[in-house]
Amino acid sequence: MTKPWGQMLMVGIPGLHLDEVARTLIRDLQVGGIILFKRNISHPQQVAELIDACQQTALAASGYPLLVAVDQEGGPVQRFRHPWLETPSARQMGAAGDLAAIEHSAQRVAQELQLMGVNVNLAPVLDVARNPDCPLWERSYSADPEAVVRCGLAAVRGYLAGGVLPVVKHFPGLGATRLDSHLDLPTVEGGTDAGNEDLFPFREAITAGIPAVMCAHLLVPSWDSNLPTSLSPVAVTRILRQHLKFFGLIFSDDLEMGAITRKWPVPEAARRAVAAGIDIILICEQIENVKKTLAALSQSPELESRLRSAWQRIQQYKKTLPQLRLNLEAIQARFASGH
C-alpha cells in the first residue's frame, strides 16, 4: 500500500481554475485538503466549479474527498465578500452580545460555504485579546474569557447547523501577545497554564464537544522553552490531548508563516508538528514546500505510528462528509435573490 501521508496536508492552490500545479498537488501528491484565498475567488459559479473540479480529481486519484477550507471569520478576515454575505468583526458582534444573532449569522455563512462546496471554516477565534495592541483585537470577541466562550460556542453551533466543520483557533490563545505570528514568533506574556484566561475558552469549548482545533505558533515558556505550541509534544499531546482530553482533529496554522520559517525549514517544521501530535498541516503557498514535506514524512519511519493515527482520524471524519453535487441553479438562485 502506498503511504497516504499526503492526506495530512492542507495546501493552497494558485488561481481561479484547476491548473497544472493544482492537479499535481491533488492528483499526484494526493493532498488531503485545500484552502482558498482571495486569489482563488472571483464569483460564486467560478468558486463552485473550481471546488468541484478539485473534488472530482481527488476522488479519481485517491478515492478520498478533499477537506476544502477557508477563513471566513467576519470583519477583517473573510475571504468571500460581496456578493457573498459579509458579517461584522468578532469584536463588534461580541460587544453587541446577541448570541442568537451570532449563531444565525454563522449558520447563514455556513450555508453559503456549503453551497460552494466548502466544508471547513477556520473559525471562530477564541483568543481573548485584552489590549488593542494585540494583532487579534478585531478578530477576538471580547477581553472577557466567559464572553468569548459564549460567543464562540454560538458561532460553532451556527457553522455546524449550516453544514461546515468549524475549527476553533488559536490554541492556547494569542490574546496576550503583541507580535504577529505571520511575521515572527510571539511569546505569551505572563506564562500559560491550565487555569488562566487564555486557555479558559478552549477548555470550555472542548468540554462542549467542539470537533476541531487549530494550534497557534506561540512560545509558551512554562510549557516548552524551545518549541512553539504547534511543534511542541508537550502542548499538543500532553496538554491538549491528555490533560484537556480533546480527541478531535488538530490543525496547525500555516507552516510558511514567519513565526516558523525564521527558524525552521517547512519540511523540518512539518516533521516536528507530526511528532507533536498535529493531524492536519497547513502549507498555503509554495508547491515545492509541499513536495519536500511529503518526501520528509515518507522518509521518517520513526513517525509511522503517529502518521497512521492521524490518517485514521482524518479518514474517520471524511466518512461523515456529505456527498455534495455541483448545483449551479441553486447557486444562481441564492445570489440572484441577494441578502
How distant, in Å, are the alpha carbons of 13, 36, 242 from that of 39?
Answer: 9, 8, 39
Alpha-carbon distance 227 to 229, whole Å?
A: 7
Residue type, 296: A
The catalytic position among 127, 198, 224, 253 is: 253
In degrees and rounded to multiples of 5, residue 19 shows phi and psi of -95, -175
How distant, in Å, are the alpha carbons of 48, 88, 155, 191, 234 from that of 158?
Answer: 22, 15, 5, 33, 32
- 265 CA to centre of own chain: 21
Identify whether the C-beta of residue 8 lies closer than 8 Å to the C-beta of residue 65: no
Give, for 72, the enclosing helix (H) or strand (E). strand 72-74
Alpha-carbon distance 297 to 280, whole Å?
A: 13
- Establish whether 71 is a catalytic residue: no
Cell numbers for 272: 516536528
Query: What letters, b where the CB count within 10 A reaches 16 and e where it falls short, cover 149-158?
Result: bbbbbbbbbb
The catalytic position among 182, 193, 243, 339 is: 182
Residue type, 111: Q
Cell numbers for 33: 485538503
Identify whether the C-beta of residue 102 lies closer than 8 Å to the C-beta of residue 145: no
Phi-psi region of 187 (alpha: psi -120 to 50; beta: other; left: phi over 0): beta
- Establish whether 182 is a catalytic residue: yes
Cell numbers for 265: 525549514
Identify whether the C-beta of residue 250 lies closer than 8 Å to the C-beta of residue 280: yes
Sign of CA dihedral 270, 272, 274, 277: negative
Catalytically annotated residues: 182, 253
